[in-house]
Amino acid sequence: MTDQVMAAIDGSQFSEGVCDYAAWASLALDAPLTFLHVVDNHPQTAEADLSGNIGLGSREHLLEELSELDEKRAKVAQEQGRLMLKDAKERAIQDGVAEPGTRQRNGTLVETLEELENEIRLLVVGKRGETAHQASEHLGSNLERVVRTLHRPILMVSDTFTRPAKVMLAFDGSKTTRKGVEMLAKSPLFDGIPVHVVIVGAETGDNRSQLDWALATLREAGHEAEGAIRAGEVEAALRTYQDENDIDLLVMGAYGHSRIRHLLVGSTTTAMLRKATKPVLLLR
């Protein structure tokens, strides 16, 4: 099945938010929804040093027991995954999705998503995974690798669903963010949602011209749109604008130019994602 919303779920606190945001996106885009759970079967038990004073037979016996334990863990993980997928499917049906699908795969999340990339229209993920540290600013290592690897829009969500009522696009006039404006303008995901376009930089003729183009593009498509040019450090300026205007969802280009380019290739993006308390849509 191609062109679908895919939601990666695990046992983390973000799974319910992932389910609800994925259901919202599926309904808004009129696209099929599939929940994905990946079981990483890498052994959790460190390989013990069983040499020394125990006999060969004893060592083989212990290795057999360790192997059996790994097999049992794998079976338990598979069953946990099936239950998670079942719950996610039921939740999505309650949210109004007619026939959500489920898939369980073995392997790593990043490799699995790479294999499925051509089927994905939008990927929905939580900020952290179940094994991540619970510090509020921790960014799951899986998420960072997924963002750097996948060439699809990625919606990173919070743990509680809030229907987006205002959207903000971090804009710098680059090819990626101009595509972002055009995508926002025509995507049914943002129908009826006011869009704020923000450039972080100096009040120059070029920046004003870029902003005017973005606003005109959005308004021609029927959106209520407003924009601003803010001076200062990119992350702080965007966050301040988001707080001042009660923005529910931030849209960013994964790669751009000027200072916003560093939002993904440098520390600014990582910081932006770490500190995010509301969903962030990353465009590629």
pLDDT at 143 (0 to 100)? 76
Is 124 in contact with 157 (CB distance < 8 Å)? Answer: yes
pLDDT in the model for residue 91: 95
CB atoms within 10 A of CB 271: 17
Show the low-confidence residues of the chain (pLDDT under 50).
Answer: 43-48, 50, 130-139, 255-266
- 3-class secondary structure, 205: helix
CA-CA-CA-CA dihedral for 194, 258, 239, 18, to nearest 10 = 70
pLDDT computed for residue 139 by the predictor: 45
Give residues with Cβ within 8 angstroms of 227, minimum separation 6: 171, 196, 197, 198, 199, 211, 214, 215
Phi-psi region of 222 (alpha: psi -120 to 50; beta: other; left: phi over 0): left
Tell me, what's the pLDDT at 129? 53
CA distance 266 to 270: 7
CA 124 to the chain's CA centroid? 5
- Can you give the pLDDT at residue 132? 46
Report how far apart the first and last C-alpha atoms of the chain are (Å, whole number). 21
Q: Where are the alpha helices (DSSP H) in the chain?
A: 15-29, 56-94, 109-116, 141-149, 175-186, 205-220, 234-244, 262-265, 267-275
Q: Which CATH architecture has domain 167-283?
A: 3-Layer(aba) Sandwich (3.40)
Q: Are 19 and 126 in contact (CB under 8 A)?
A: no
Query: Could you give the residue range(s) of every CATH 3.40.50.620 domain in the chain?
Result: 4-42+77-157, 167-283
- Indicate the burial class of 52 (C-beta count within 10 angstroms; 0-12, 13-18, 19 or more): exposed
Q: How far apart are CA 195 and CA 249, in angstroms?
A: 10
Protein fold of 4-42+77-157: Rossmann fold (3.40.50)
* Type and span of the H or E element at 39: strand 33-39
The CA distance from 195 to 219, in Å, is 10
pLDDT at residue 260, rounded to an integer = 47
Relative to beta strand 120-126, strand 225-230 is unpaired
Spatial separation of the C-alpha atoms in residues 7 and 126, rounded to whole Å: 9
Place of tokens 């200072």: 259
Residue that is written with structure tokens 């209520």 in the block: 224
Looking at residue 45, its pLDDT comes to 43
Query: Are the C-beta atoms of 143 and 216 separated by less than 8 Å?
Result: no
Q: Report the candidate in 249, 214, 216, 215 with the shortest Cα–Cα distance to residue 124.
A: 249
Two structure tokens written together for 217: 């593009």
Backbone angles phi and psi of 180, in degrees to 5: -60, -40
Tell me how far CA of residue 142 lies from CA of 9, 147, 153, 198, in angstroms.
12, 9, 16, 29
